[in-house]
Amino acid sequence: MNSPFRWLWTGAGLSNLGDGVTLTALPLISLAAGASPGEVALVTTLATIAWPAFGLHAGWLVDRFPPQRLLAVVNGLRALALLGLSAAIALDTAVTLAVFTAAFIYGLAETLVDTSLIAGIPRTVARAELTGANSRIEATINIANQLAGPPLAGLLLGATGLLAAASGTGLYSLAAIAGIGLIRSMHRHTRGDSNAGEDAADSHGPGRSPSETTQGTSSPSSSRGIREGIRFLFSHRLQRELTLMTAAMSMVWGAWTATFVLYAVAPGPLNLSSAAYGWLLTAMAIGGIMSSALTERLQARFSTTALLFVDAIGTLGLVLPAALGAPLPIIVVGLVTAGAGSTIWRIIVAVIRQQTTPRHLIGRVYSASRVVNWGALPLGAALAALGVETLGVPGVFWIGSGLSIGICGWLTAAMPRMKARIDEAEAEAEAEAEAEAEVIFNLKVDKQSKRP
C-alpha cells in the first residue's frame, strides 16, 4: 500500500479509537455530573441523530470538497469539542451542557468522517487493491472502536472523567494531524509520476475527475446534488437491492440490540452480570476482526454472492440461538458468526459501491444508503419494544429469525442476476486497472524519452 493510503489508514485507526472512547465515556460523564436518566439517554440521541438528519448533506459535502481536507478539519473540530468538555469538567461548570455539545458534534462529524473515508479509499489505492484496502480499514475499525475503545474508556473513567475527555481530545488531534499528512502525501503523489495515474484513473474510471465535478464552475446546489445521489442509488439495480437487503438485516439487528440485554443480563435466561455482558459482546468484534483479515483471500476462492450469503446466515445466527433458548457457548458462536458475516458484507458492498459508482457521486450514494440502513435500526428497535410487551423476548427473536430466513431466501433468489452484475463490475474494474497501468507506463516512457 502506498503512502497516501497509510496516512488514511492511520487516521482511521486514531479517529475510531477516539470514537470508542468518546461514545463510551460521554453518557458516564453526564451521569457522574448528576444528569437525570432522561438527560443521559439524550446523550445517545444527540450522538446518533446526525445520520438521519444530516447524512445526505454530508455526502454532498464530501463530493464537493476533497475528502482528505474534510478528514483533517472535522477531526480537528471533534478535538476542540472534547477540549471544551475537558475545560468544563476541570472547572466543574455546565458539564452536562458540554457533554450534549460534544455528543452532537461527535455525531455530526461522524457522518463526514465515515463518508470521507469511503470516498477517500478509491483515491489512494488502485482498483485491484480495493478489497484489501477496505479489509484493512474494517479490521482497524473493529479493533479500535469495538475492542480497544470501550475498555480504554473504562480505565480512564476509573481515574477521572477529565482524563477520558482529554484522551479523546488527543486522539482526535492526532487523527487531524494524520489528515494533514494525507493531504501532503497526496499532493506529492499527484505532483510525481502518479499524477498521470490519477488522471488516467479519472478518465478511465467510473466517474470524472474532481476538476470536472466538485471544483468545477457548474457545481450543483445542495438539494439537486442530493437528489442526484439518491436517484443513482435507486436506479442502479444491484446497489438498490443490496441497500434494501442491508436495511432488512439492520431491522433485525436493531430488534436484537433493543432486547438482547433482557435475555443476557440477570434475571434473564443467561443470568450474566453487566461486566460479563460487555465481554460477551466482544465476540462480535472478534468475528469481525477474523473475517476482515480473511476477506481478500476468501474472495479469491469463492464467489462474491456466496460470501454475501454468509452474512445472511450470520444474521440468523444472531437471533435464532436466543429464540431457541440455547446455552451460552452456542450464543457465543452465533455472535462470532454474526460479527464475521456483517464485516464481510460491509467490505464487499463497499467495494461494489466504489467500483460501480462514478467518483463524483460516491459520497452522496454512500450517505444515501447509510441513511436508509441507519433508519432501519431504530425502526427495528421500536418494533421490538412493542413486540416484547405482547410476545415476550423469545417471541421477538422468533420474528427476527423468520425475517432472517426470508432474507436468506431473497438473497438466494437474487443470486443469479446479482452474480452477473457483480462479475460485470469486477471485469470492468479489472479492464480499467489494466488500461490505467498502460497509460501510466506510456506516460513514464514518454517523459523519460524527453529528458536531455
The mean pLDDT of 315-340, rounded to a whole number, is 93
The mean pLDDT of 343-370, rounded to a whole number, is 87
The mean pLDDT of 349-359, rounded to a whole number, is 86
The mean pLDDT of 313-338, rounded to a whole number, is 93
Residue 360 has pLDDT above 60, yes or no: yes
pLDDT the model gives residue 175: 94
Residue 246 has pLDDT above 90, yes or no: yes
Q: Read off the pLDDT band of 53 (50, 70, 90).
A: confident
Residue 119 has pLDDT above 50, yes or no: yes
Query: Where in the chain are the domains?
Result: 3-185, 236-432
CATH 1.20.1250.20 describes domain 3-185 = yes
Residue 25 has pLDDT above 60, yes or no: yes
Q: Read off the pLDDT band of 440 (50, 70, 90).
A: low
Higher pLDDT residue, 425 or 422?
A: 422
pLDDT the model gives residue 7: 93
Higher pLDDT residue, 162 or 447?
A: 162
pLDDT the model gives residue 198: 44
Please, are residues 63 and 119 in contact by the beta-carbon 8 Å criterion? yes
pLDDT the model gives residue 220: 56
pLDDT cut 90: percent of the chain above it: 29
Higher pLDDT residue, 423 or 269?
A: 269
Residue 41 has pLDDT above 70, yes or no: no
Q: What is the rounded average pLDDT for all residues in the chain?
A: 83
- The model's pTM is 0.71
Higher pLDDT residue, 321 or 274?
A: 321
- Do 3-185 and 236-432 have matching folds? yes
pLDDT the model gives residue 81: 95
pLDDT the model gives residue 82: 95
Residue 201 has pLDDT above 50, yes or no: no
Residue 191 has pLDDT above 70, yes or no: no
Residue 452 has pLDDT above 70, yes or no: no
pLDDT the model gives residue 46: 82
pLDDT the model gives residue 210: 40
pLDDT the model gives residue 429: 64
pLDDT the model gives residue 12: 92
Higher pLDDT residue, 45 or 333?
A: 333
Q: What CATH number has the domain spanning 236-432?
A: 1.20.1250.20
The mean pLDDT of 408-423, rounded to a whole number, is 87
The mean pLDDT of 160-164, rounded to a whole number, is 88
pLDDT tens per residue across span 90-118: 998 889 999 999 999 998 999 999 889 88
pLDDT the model gives residue 1: 67
Residue 258 has pLDDT above 90, yes or no: no
pLDDT the model gives residue 196: 43
